[in-house]
Structure 1
C-alpha cells in the first residue's frame, strides 16, 4: 500500500481518539523506517535506486530494506511495542503526550498505548493482501514464523482504485456525519 493511503487509513481508524498529527506519522512509520535507511545507504554508496514496477523484487533493494521491513511489519514486534508503551504510559502518567488523546482515554495507559499503535497495525493489515511473495511480503508473525501471504500488488489498478475508492467513500461519510452533527448542535431549541 502506498504511504499516502496508509496516512489516511491511520488517521481514519483513530479519528476522534488520537490526534491526527500523531496517527498519521504512526501509520507511515513502518514504511519510512524500512525504506529511508535503504535510500540513505543507496545514496551513500552510489547505488542507483531500483525502478518499482511489476518486475521489481525485494532483492532489488539493499538488504537493509528487507531486514528493517521484517521488524516494522511484524504484528509480534508491534505488540511488544504496545506493551512497552503501556508500561511507559503507566510509569510516566500525566505526561504532555497524553494531550494527544481524546479526553476520555487519558489516564488509561493500556488504552492509550493500543490507540497509539492502531495506525501501525493498520499498515500491516493493509500490506498483508497487497504485497506479493516476490515484493516485500508482509512478515506478520516475524520472528516467530516465516508465514507470508502472496497477495496482489497494491499498484495494480483493481487494488489501487478499490483502496482509494473505499477511502474516499469512508472519509466522505465521516465528514458528512460530522457536518450534520455540527449543524444539529447549532440548531436553536424550539
Structure 2
C-alpha cells in the first residue's frame, strides 16, 4: 500500500492513542527503506528526479541493493516482533502505537504483487511470497481511499455526536 494510505489508516485506527507516534510507526517501514533512498538522492542530486528506467514499474536493478536489504528488515514480522518485545520490556507498558508498524506489514502482504517488492514478512527465514493485488492498480486505489474516506467520515460523525 502507498505510504499516504498507511498514514491515514494508522491515524484512523489509533485516533485516541498517541496518534502522532502511530502514524510515524505506520509509515516507518517505508521510511526506513525508500525514505533512505530518497534522502540520499536529495543530498547527492538535489531535486533531480530519480531514474528508475522506462515503464510504469521501476526496474528492480535500478534500485540499489541496500534498499532491498532495508526493505527486508523493515517489512519482517519477525524483526518487528523482536523490536516490539524489547520496547515492551524497556517501556514497561504495551507500546500500542508501535503495533501500527506490524499493521503496516500485515496490510502490505495482500497489497503487493510478486512483480514489485513482495512483502518479506518472514525474513530472515526462507518464505513463500504472497502474490497479492498491487496497491497501485487504479481500482484498488479508488476502493482503498473510498474506505479511508468512509472511516474518517464515521469518526467525524462520532466526534460530532459526542459534542452534542
Please classify the TM superposition score into its range, dividing by the shorter chain length.
0.7 to 0.9
**Structure 1 vs Structure 2 CA RMSD:** 2.1
Would the aligned equivalents of 2:19 and 2:97 in 1 still touch at CA under 8 Å?
no
1:89 aligns with 2:91: yes
| Structure 1, unpaired ranges of 5+ | 91-108, 184-190
Task: Show the counterpart of 1:23.
Answer: 22
Bigger shift: residues 138-147 or 64-73: 138-147
Cα 1:172/1:142, change in 2 over 3 Å: same
Secondary structure of 1:133's partner? coil
Residue 58 of structure 2 corresponds to 56
Q: How far apart, CA to CA, are the structure 2 residues paired with 1:2 and 1:175?
A: 23
Q: 1:142 to 1:178 in 2, by over 3 A?
A: same
Residue matched to 1:136:
117
TM-score w.r.t. length of structure 2: 0.87
Cα 1:168–1:43 change in 2 (3 A) is closer
Partner of 1:172: 153
Taking the aligned partners of 1:63 and 1:136, their CA distance within structure 2 comes to: 12
Is the aligned partner of 1:152 residue 2:154? Answer: no
Q: Secondary structure at the match of 1:29?
A: helix
Number of residues of Structure 1 aligned to a counterpart in Structure 2 = 161
Partner residue in 2 for 1:12 = 12
* Match runs of 1:67-86 below 5 Å: 67-86=69-88
Measure, in 1, the Cα distance between the counterparts of 2:137 and 2:36. Answer: 26
Task: Provide the residue aligned with 1:101 in structure 2.
Answer: none
Find the structure with the greater CA-based Rg.
Answer: 1
Q: Which runs of 4+ in 1 moved over 2 A?
A: 36-49, 51-60, 144-147
Unaligned runs of 5+ in 2: none
Residues 109 and 130, structure 2, Cα contact 8 Å, conserved in 1: yes
Question: Structure 1 residues 143 and 116 mapped into 2: Cα distance closer, same or farther (>3 Å)?
Answer: same
**1:52 to 1:161, Cα distance in 2 relative to 1, 3 A:** farther
TM-score after normalising by structure 1: 0.76
